[in-house]
Amino acid sequence: MVLMHPAPALSTLDDAGLRTLCGRLGIPEYRAAQLRAAPWQPFVATLDDVRQLPTELRSTFDAQVRFSTATVAAERTADAGATIKLLCGLDDSLTVETVAMETPARGASRRRGTACVSSQVGCAVGCPFCATGRMGLRRSCTAAEIVDQVRLAGHALHRHGFGPVTHVVYMGMGEPLANAAATIESLHVLTGAAGISARRITVSTSGVVPGITRLQREAPPVTLAISLHAATDELRNRLVPLNRAHPIAALLSAAGSYASATGRRISVEWCLIGGVNDSLQQAQALRELARSCGAHVNVIPMNRIEGSSWGPPDPEVARQFLHQLRGVQVTVRDTRGGDVDAACGQLRASLEARRELRPDGTLSPPRTAVGA
Ligand code: SAH
Ligand code: SF4
């Protein structure tokens, strides 16, 4: 059972809800707009930091809402400080991972501040190459927990001297479309109060077909990324067990319909695993498939995880795989933050190995060095 705080979360209260609350507390209605914008200022970590509100109003309001549903329980940096990995603690002491990444402006492309958020504590899909898949599903995140991770990523970027969050990717722990209602609600908040354009948000799915249909009907037109990893059902059944319920043809048909309805090009994710899905036949099948649906392909060499003998392919094999994809738009994604266990669920797994994370998902108090 999830013990949730009874007070509503400020980050997911809409205009009508805020106005009603203001009315009930005798706060002038025009304050509702200030309160709605407050959580999205990078330097605002508590309601007390919202200096344009009178002190009395802040304390009245603070007692009625939750300013944040997540707090930073641990932080690690990598890539000379450009990747900040956060372990976020939730109400029931469970933790999820959030990553904030700074990409400086280069040539014609502007700087980016990307927040990579978790949608669930763990995941039920169970992909064998994924650290999150190995822990099973503990519970889904609420919409407020998802958007509050974006806020914490923004604070982290600000603390490290960078600009605001400009992009959000749902590529942390969990399967966002197995938690479709909260994911969709969070997308409305991010494109509404947080002011992030839908084209700068990516939802990555392992292939929950009914979830894609729902996203198409109910969410703002965000970019959809399909974690394909295999171009034949036989191999995909092993790599993404959800494929048995929603095989490749059904997934591609739902993705195609999403692309036509939203006008958004689909991304296809391919975690390249040495000796598993790096054959020339898989590459050729991927090329055909990507060309038929006009998708952009992201190839991510597998990050090693504890307890698996799988890993990235030999560089020459990877080169030949990529060569087969000519004619398709391909990006080879660097595994940002490799030195802080970058792939999904890995920071958590490494804390667990060091016994800083208890088996029930709660963090043990920081250990003080002997003699300190
Ligand atoms: N559940 C969703 C979103 C979270 S996983 C999904 O599967 O799409 C985000 C991405 O990280 C997915 O493309 C997933 O396949 C990839 N991933 C997971 N474990 C990985 C690993 N060990 N190395 C590289 N990529 C990994
Ligand atoms: Fe779940 Fe995605 Fe990991 Fe698969 S890759 S286990 S769907 S989080």
Which tens digit of pLDDT belongs to each residue from 199-229?
Answer: 999 999 999 999 999 999 999 999 999 999 9
- The average confidence (pLDDT) of the chain is 89
Hey, which residues are catalytic here? Answer: 97, 344
Three-class DSSP category at 141: coil
CA torsion angle 79 84 85 91 (round to 10): 180
C-alpha–C-alpha distance, residues 183 and 198, integer Å: 13
Burial classification of residue 327, based on how many CB atoms lie within 10 Å of its CB (0-12 exposed, 13-18 middle, 19 or more buried): exposed
Residue 277 CB: number of other CB atoms within 10 A?
Answer: 26
Instruction: Tell me if 206 CB under 6 Å of ligand 1.
Output: yes
Q: Indicate if the pLDDT at residue 342 is higher than 60.
A: no
- Which tokens in the block code for residue 73? 């329980």
Instruction: Tell me if 171 CB under 6 Å of ligand 1.
Output: yes
Three-class DSSP category at 46: coil
> Ligand 2: which residues within 6 Å by Cβ?
123, 125-127, 130, 132-133, 174-175, 206, 227, 344
Domains of the chain by range and CATH? 10-62 (no CATH), 71-356 (3.20.20.70)
Q: What is the pLDDT of residue 346?
A: 53
Longest distance between any two alpha carbons in the chain, whole Å: 68
Average pLDDT over residues 27-53: 89
C-alpha–C-alpha distance, residues 183 and 142, integer Å: 8
C-alpha–C-alpha distance, residues 232 and 140, integer Å: 30
pLDDT one-digit tens code per residue, 258-278: 999 999 999 999 999 999 999
Residue 333 pLDDT grade (very low, low, confident, very high; cuts 50, 70, 90): confident
Given phi > 0 = left and psi -120 to 50 = alpha, else beta, which region is 327?
left
> Which residues lie closer than 8 Å to 19 by C-beta, 6 or more apart?
29, 32
| This prediction's pTM | 0.92
C-alpha–C-alpha distance, residues 155 and 117, integer Å: 14
If one residue of 117, 137, 168, 171 were mutated to test the ligand 1 pocket, choosing by the most ligand atoms within 8 A of its CB, it would be 171
Is the four-CA dihedral 125, 130, 133, 139 of positive or negative sign? negative
C-alpha–C-alpha distance, residues 347 and 9, integer Å: 27
254 CA from centroid of ligand 2 (Å)? 19
- Which tokens in the block code for residue 125? 């899909």
C-alpha–C-alpha distance, residues 168 and 201, integer Å: 5
Average pLDDT over residues 312-327: 96
CA torsion angle 172 173 176 177 (round to 10): 130
Burial classification of residue 339, based on how many CB atoms lie within 10 Å of its CB (0-12 exposed, 13-18 middle, 19 or more buried): exposed
Closest residue by CA, ligand 1 atom 19: 130
DSSP summary character for residue 191: H
Residue 348 pLDDT grade (very low, low, confident, very high; cuts 50, 70, 90): low
Q: What is the phi/psi pair of residue 49, to 5°?
A: -80, -5
Least confidently predicted of 82-86, 255-259, 312-316, 361-365: 361-365
- Which tokens in the block code for residue 70? 């997540």
> Which residues lie closer than 8 Å to 258 by C-beta, 6 or more apart?
212, 215, 216, 224, 264, 266
With a pLDDT cut of 70, the percent of the chain lying above it is 88
Instruction: Tell me if 129 CB under 6 Å of ligand 1.
Output: yes
C-alpha–C-alpha distance, residues 296 and 9, integer Å: 37
44 CA from centroid of ligand 1 (Å)? 31
